[in-house]
Amino acid sequence: MRHGTKCIGFSVASVVIGLLVHPAFAGTYPQTREYLLGDKDGMVYGGPGSIDDVYVDPALLDWLQSVAPSEPNDDFDVLNYNNNVPFTFLFPLAAGEGVVGASLTMGLRAVDGLYVNDWLVLRADDIIPCWVYTFPDLGWSPLPFTGVGVRTVDLSNIVGDNRLATLQDGKLDIHITDDTAVDFAVLTIEVVPEPATLALLAVGGLGIFLRRKRRLFAALGGFVLAIVLLSQPALAGPYPQTREYMLGDIDGIHYDGAGSVDDVYVDPAFAAWNLPVTAAHGIQPFDAVNQNQVVPFTFTFHLASGETVVGATLTIGLRSMGGHPHNDRLDLEPDRGSGGDTFFRYDFSDLGWLPVASSGVDVRSIDLATVYGCYEHPNTPDDYLPLLQDGKFNAKVFDDMAIDYANLTIEVMPEPATLALLAVGGLLLIRRRGA
């Protein structure tokens, strides 16, 4: 085989590798990505510099100063009236990616009776300064004066308007006026590759297979593989990614009935494993206010080919139902690998979660990479990240606690071998030898 033919062969193999690891061909699109501002703590202000002091684009602040100079701008969790609450979502998009769906979810509380006149304002640019939507038009009224009311809007159909175009630059400016406090805000987007990227990949693959002008088409293959590299999320900047998954709703322990958001998913194998316990205690959904109960739940989440979870936090909103709180516990993950009856049990007292209030909702969190307090080995931390790599996580609370909601937040990175394969492919494509 001549060296030129070998070069073409290497080029074909390299682009095939690029195609296989490119998300569009690995089955990872459409991707759902979530971005959280603030924290879900029921309007507890953490002060300047805290998570409640959310990022606001300077251009948005300048614009607000020009249109509403007499109205101050507040952080999240600040219970003032006649104020604006501005915030900016930043979400990196890889080269060739586009946003094809988006929703905005916020936790809100009315601060004054005039909140019915409040607006959700989406800031676009200097040509079209903003889009204004009243709370009544959005169907967001009434709002609670205590606790937090969760409201969601589809940005592809907000009172008949499609506002996805303003998200294509990876930024969304918002502010709320002027008698409503914001606890948290979540932007959820659906992302797909831009068609031209895929077309270029196809052209490059065909070019390499042509036998005439081998070096020209090998170069074309290299050019296209460069496009693959640039459009890889791992190289275009979106990593590490933070993704948040929520079960239930933040409504202060209000059960919405069978089949509602409070009737959370439980993996069938996990439910079967729990049968000996639930037979004696009874299995309950979120927001159930009983003593002597078991509340199991399962998170499911998608990981793209080559992605791995490198960090995770579990957050739960709880209320004590009385009984014997020193017996309450959090159980994590039966041994799914061996199918045995092993699980990890953490008493609330060992986790430092006691006391839990008997009214309202108390928020508790654990870092799943280093969980201390296991009943069997309290001084040795447990790492649950390996069990998250299949896109599933099981947990249950036992037995005198009600759950309002549960959040799983994960940090995701590309698997190193994916990047190594792409690098090797690129090196092979630029190899040039004479015939």
Q: Domain-by-domain residue ranges, the chain?
A: 3-27+193-239+415-429, 39-190, 242-412
Among residues 35, 52, 12, 28, the alpha carbon closest in space to that of 102 is found at 35
Q: Are strands 293-300 and 130-134 parallel, antiparallel or unpaired?
A: unpaired
Q: Domain 242-412 carries which CATH code? A: 2.60.120
- Are 39-190 and 242-412 in the same CATH fold? yes
pLDDT tens per residue, the chain (435 residues)?
A: 555 555 555 445 545 554 544 444 444 567 888 899 999 888 999 998 888 999 998 888 888 888 778 889 999 999 998 889 999 999 888 877 889 999 999 999 999 877 778 899 998 654 445 788 999 889 888 888 888 888 999 999 998 889 998 898 899 999 998 899 999 999 999 998 755 445 455 555 555 555 555 555 555 555 555 555 544 544 444 567 888 888 888 888 989 888 888 898 888 888 877 666 555 667 889 999 988 888 999 998 888 877 899 999 999 999 998 877 677 899 887 544 334 445 678 889 888 899 998 888 898 999 999 998 787 777 888 899 998 998 899 999 988 899 999 999 999 987 655 555 555 555 555 554 444
- The partner residues of 59 in beta bridges, in order of sequence, read none
Q: Are strands 130-134 and 241-248 parallel, antiparallel or unpaired?
A: unpaired
Q: Are 185 and 104 in contact (CB under 8 A)?
A: yes
Q: Are 224 and 200 in contact (CB under 8 A)?
A: yes
Q: Are 389 and 303 in contact (CB under 8 A)?
A: yes
**What is the structure's pLDDT at 350?**
87
Q: Are 271 and 394 in contact (CB under 8 A)?
A: no
At residue 228, the 3 state secondary structure works out as helix
Q: How many residues does the chain have?
A: 435
Question: What token pair was written down for 329?
Answer: 């516990």
What stretches of 43-153 show up as alpha helix (H) in DSSP?
58-67, 135-138
**Distance between CA atoms of 362 and 131, rounded to whole angstroms?**
36
Q: Are 343 and 333 in contact (CB under 8 A)?
A: yes
Question: What is the enclosing helix (H) or strand (E) of 269?
Answer: helix 268-273
Question: What token pair was written down for 282?
Answer: 């009874």
**What is the structure's pLDDT at 120?**
93
Phi, psi of 353 (to 5 degrees): -90, -10
Q: Compute CA distances 260 → 59, 201, 340, whole Å.
A: 41, 44, 32
**What is the structure's pLDDT at 207?**
52
Question: What token pair was written down for 374?
Answer: 């296991």
**Distance between CA atoms of 297 and 265, rounded to whole angstroms?**
6
- The partner residues of 89 in beta bridges, in order of sequence, read 172
Classify domain 39-190 by CATH architecture.
Answer: Sandwich (2.60)
pTM: 0.52
CA dihedral 196, 202, 204, 209 (to 10 degrees): -170
Among residues 292, 290, 288, the alpha carbon closest in space to that of 280 is found at 292
